[in-house]
Structure 1
Amino acid sequence: MFNIIIFVSLGIGIFILGLVLLTTSLKIISKERVKILIDKYTGNIYLSIFIGFILSIIMQSSSMTTIVAVSMADAGLLNLYTAAGITMGANIGTTVAVQLYAFDLYSLIPYAIFFGSILRFQKKKLLKFIGNILLGLGIIFAGLKIIDMAVSPLRNFSEINNFVSITENPVYGIFIGIVMALIMQSSTFCIAMLQVLATAKIMPVCNTLFIIYGLNIGTCSEAFLMSLATNREGKKIAIYNILFNIIGTMIFVPLTPYYYAILKYITPNNVSRQIANGHMFFNIISTILVLPIMKYLFSFIEILIGNDAK
């Protein structure tokens, strides 16, 4: 058991190192330029969703994109609907990385690390950028592979099986997801771990869906805490982001067995892809369902915050 903990910790450390390198490389535009991009190209709700989607991919963080939207709403640079569109697009954009991790690219790890290491030390910015991306992805998949090999024996431990059985309960599964997001502050990392556990036949995919719902709610915490120092408009966007994910969760929870059946039908032999699709479709469908009731949500939020928000 001690060896398993050591190697899982090593794999997590390597994964995070690769994720930091990748996200640092992808943040090719500054926060100020992000604000200019948002201000220039968010003409309507659908365009706002698209911009939020793109920015989340570039920044590799839906939380950071949402924080930018909250701060711009606070400064009066965005109206509520535009800022809300950006947050919804950011939720969708953050699912792209998890889709990538579902590919079986482990055989390419040595090549990615080797060529990435060479290119990142080149003088040309483009070559350096490509090198950082390749190296980051190579390190990420190396970390996932180490974790995958380390956790396989865990399926024989009764304590692990007891924990997995707890996640069959939607309430516990969602709560665990929220706690994981609060601790790690990265839904991408947490879902990658779920993919590894499902591939190792430790965690059933249906159970991971409840955790994914909780992760989406938990990742709202950073923007919500930041909004406490903003005016009414900033608070409204942060609360909207939380309600958006809570509403999506309330809709999906009773339908989860049928949802899982659809995911299994789409990719019957790839549990990692089922989890990635479960995360992606949750955010896309939630956006489609919430869009028509946005004005009612903001009316409810107005009542909710009352006159206390400054």
Structure 2
Amino acid sequence: MTVMRTGLLNLTEDRTKGFLQHFTDHPIKGMMIGAVLTALLQSSSAVMVITVGLVAAGYLSFYQSIGIMLGSNIGTTLTTELITLDISNYVFPLLIIGFLLLFSKKKLPFSIGSSIFGLGCLFVAMGGFESLALPLSLFPNVQEFLMHTNDRHLIGVFLGTVITALIHSSSATVGISMSFLNNGLLSLPAGIAIMLGANIGTCITAYMASIGGIKEAKLTAYAHIWLNVFGVLAFFPLIPLLGKVVEFLAVSADVQLAHSSVIFNIVCSFVALPFVKPFSRFVERLHR
């Protein structure tokens, strides 16, 4: 994912900064731009790091950044939907073409090569998770831990938060959960709990980017954390209901989890959108 993100960022970084500066005067515009750019870059963390950097440099205000983070939460769900696709016949050509383009000294082919090679590696990694899930579950300690996660959803939220904070990718955490789901080792509600925690854990990247920055940059990072924490607190009691909804929408367990991520982030972002001003004042008062 880092290789793919590098390639996509090299292709679009200048334009990304331009869009973020010029089309975020209203939270609705900010949310739309944040969603589109995150979908293109396949990383909410990358968009948030760029946003924090622009706020720190004085090109964006803290208020403008909130719309972008609402959109980035929506855009990142494209990755979880993407990794549920079966493109096994195309993975090897993607790796070969991408690997060859990595040797180019020109920016455009190198960036395209990074994107293609990273995408191929992502699907190889997902296959690796899938094949390792069952052997890993044979260890007694892992079995016991999975049982606790299935019984206590709060453990799942904690697990998703910690893993995502360590690997800086909520999509990868959800992908790992999908492999356990597909092998019947993890229940759907437990997978949803891990997905909720992953949304909190992904805030660590923006927070680290704000360290040493101006006050507004730090407020942006804090707002990102609080936004996701409030969303998780609101949805945590609704985990069983969300599980039933996605079971109606899809048959495959991994697709159900991907859909739950889409529903969670879209609902949270659209509910928060009318309250951007009071939310920004809340964060400013809390973190004076």
Query: So what's the TM-score if we normalise by structure 1?
Result: 0.83
Which shifted more, 231-240 or 282-291?
A: 231-240
Aligned to 2:82: 100
Which shifted more, 212-221 or 163-172?
A: 163-172
* AA at the equivalent of 1:219: T
Aligned to 1:74: 56
Aligned to 1:295: 277
> Does 2:5 align with 1:23?
yes
C-alpha change, 1:21 and 1:72, in structure 2 (3 Å) is closer
- Distance in 2 separating the partners of 1:286 and 1:275: 17
Aligned to 1:254: 237
C-alpha change, 1:123 and 1:177, in structure 2 (3 Å) is closer
Aligned to 1:266: 249
> Does 2:203 align with 1:220?
yes
Q: CA deviation at 1:249?
A: 0.5
CA contact (8 A) 2:8 2:112 kept: no
- Distance in 2 separating the partners of 1:262 and 1:26: 34
- Distance in 2 separating the partners of 1:226 and 1:276: 28
Q: CA deviation at 1:33?
A: 4.3
Q: Please, which runs of 5 or more residues in structure 1 have no aligned partner? A: 1-18
CA contact (8 A) 1:27 1:58 kept: no
Q: Deviations over 1:216-244 (max 9, x none)?
A: 11111222233242333222221111111
Q: CA deviation at 1:115?
A: 4.4
Q: CA deviation at 1:120?
A: 5.7
Q: CA deviation at 1:102?
A: 0.4
**Equivalent position SS for 1:54:** helix
Which shifted more, 123-132 or 59-68?
A: 123-132
- Distance in 2 separating the partners of 1:222 and 1:61: 11
- Distance in 2 separating the partners of 1:127 and 1:227: 32
CA RMSD in angstroms, aligned pairs only: 2.4
Match of 2:20 among 38, 46, 62: 38
**Equivalent position SS for 2:10:** coil
> Does 2:190 align with 1:229?
no
Q: CA deviation at 1:266?
A: 0.2
Aligned to 1:238: 221
Aligned to 1:6: none
Match of 2:268 among 263, 278, 286: 286
- Distance in 2 separating the partners of 1:204 and 1:33: 42
Based on CA coordinates, which of the two structures has the bigger radius of gyration? 1
Aligned to 1:9: none
Q: Deviations over 1:50-108 (max 9, x none)?
A: 21122223333212211222232333322333211111111221221121110122233
Aligned length: 287
Match of 1:139 among 117, 121, 129: 121
